[in-house]
Amino acid sequence: MSNEQKKARVPRTPKIWEALLSFAVLIGVMSVGIAVFGVDPHIPMIIGTAFAAIMALWLGFDWKYIEKSMFDGIYQALQAVIILAVIGVLIGVWLVAGVVPTMIYYGLQIITPSLFLVASLITCSITSLATGTSWGTCGTIGIALMGVASGLGIPLPMAAGAVISGAYFGDKMSPLSDTTNLAPAMAGTDVFTHVKFMIRSTLPVYIIVIVIYLVLGFRFAKDNIDMSNLAIITAGIRDSFTISPVLLIPPLVVILSIAFKMPAIPGIFLGIVSGGILGAIVQGNNFGLLLSSAYGGHISETGIEAIDELLTAGGLENMMYSISLTILAMTFGGIMEKTGQLEVIVQQLIKFARGTTSLVGLTLLTCFGSNATMPEQYISLVVPGRMYNATYRKRGLHPKMLSNALEASGTVTSALIPWNTCGVFLTGVLGVSTLQYAPWAFFNYLMPIAVLIMTAFGLLTVKISDDPGTVIAVDDISTDAVNAGAEVVAKA
Beta pairing partners, 313? 298
Residue 245 DSSP class: G
**Would you say residue 462 lies in a domain?**
no
Around Cβ 386, how many Cβ atoms within 10 Å? 25
Q: Are 279 and 138 in contact (CB under 8 A)?
A: no
DSSP at 473: P
Question: Within a domain: residue 490?
Answer: no
| Range from 37-41, 45-49, 279-283 carrying the lowest mean pLDDT | 37-41
Is residue 257 a part of any domain in this protein? yes
* Max mean pLDDT range (213-217, 286-290, 375-379): 286-290
Q: What average pLDDT does this structure show over 10-26?
A: 92
What one-character-per-residue DSSP string does 141-155 give?
Answer: HHHHHHHHHHHHT--
Establish if 267 belongs to a structural domain: yes
- Vertex 189 angle, CA 188 and 192, to 5°: 155
Summarize the confidence of residues 67-71 as an average pLDDT. Answer: 94
Predicted pLDDT of residue 486: 33
Q: Which of 202, 207, 203 is nearest to 409 (CA)?
A: 202
Q: What is the pLDDT of residues 258-314, one digit of tens each?
A: 667 677 688 888 989 999 999 999 999 999 999 999 999 899 888 887 778 778 878
The per-residue pLDDT for range 386-420, each reduced to its tens digit, is: 889 989 999 999 999 999 999 999 999 999 987 77
Measure the CA dihedral 191/192/197/198, to 10°: 60
The torsion angles phi and psi of 298, rounded to 5 degrees, stand at -95, 135
| pTM (two decimals) | 0.72
Q: Kindly state the percentage of the chain with pLDDT values over 90.
A: 41
Q: Distance between CA atoms of 482 and 131, rounded to whole angstroms?
A: 44
CB neighbour list of residue 364: distance below 8 Å, 6 or more residues apart: 405, 408, 409, 448, 451, 452
Within a domain: residue 449? no
pLDDT at 15 over 90: yes
Burial class of residue 244, CB neighbours in 10 A (0-12, 13-18, 19+): middle
Quote the pLDDT of residue 359.
95
* Band of residue 223 on the pLDDT scale cut at 50, 70, 90: low
Under a CB-based contact definition with an 8 Å cutoff, are residues 361 and 427 in contact?
Answer: no
Whether residue 221 lies inside any domain: the answer is yes
CA distances from 444 to 135, 169, 396, 448 (A): 14, 8, 29, 8
Q: Decide if 198 contacts 404 (C-beta within 8 A).
A: yes
User: Which of the listed ranges 247-261, 301-315, 343-357 does the model predict with the highest average pLDDT?
Assistant: 343-357
Residue 169 lies in a domain: yes
3 state SS of 318: helix
User: What does the buried/exposed string (b/e) look like for 462-481 if buried means 16 or more CB atoms within 10 Å of the residue's CB?
Assistant: bebeeeeebbeebeebebeb
Tell me how far CA of residue 449 lies from CA of 169, 202, 355, 372, in angstroms: 15, 11, 17, 18
Determine the structural domain holding residue 159 and report its residue range.
79-319
**Alpha-carbon gap, residue 138 to 133, rounded angstroms:** 9
Q: Is residue 18 over pLDDT 90? A: yes
431 within 8 A of 146, measured Cβ to Cβ: yes
Question: Confidence band (pLDDT; 50, 70, 90) for 225?
Answer: low
Per-residue pLDDT tens over the stretch 164-176: 999 999 999 988 8
Q: CA-based diameter of the chain, in Å?
A: 88
Give the number of domains in the chain.
1
CA distance 78 to 380: 19
- 153 CB neighbour count, 10 Å cutoff: 12
Residue at 425 is within a domain: no
Answer yes or no: are the C-beta atoms of 317 and 296 closer than 8 Å: yes
φ, ψ for residue 180 (rounded to 5)?
-65, -25
In the chain the first and final C-alpha atoms are separated, in Å, by 6
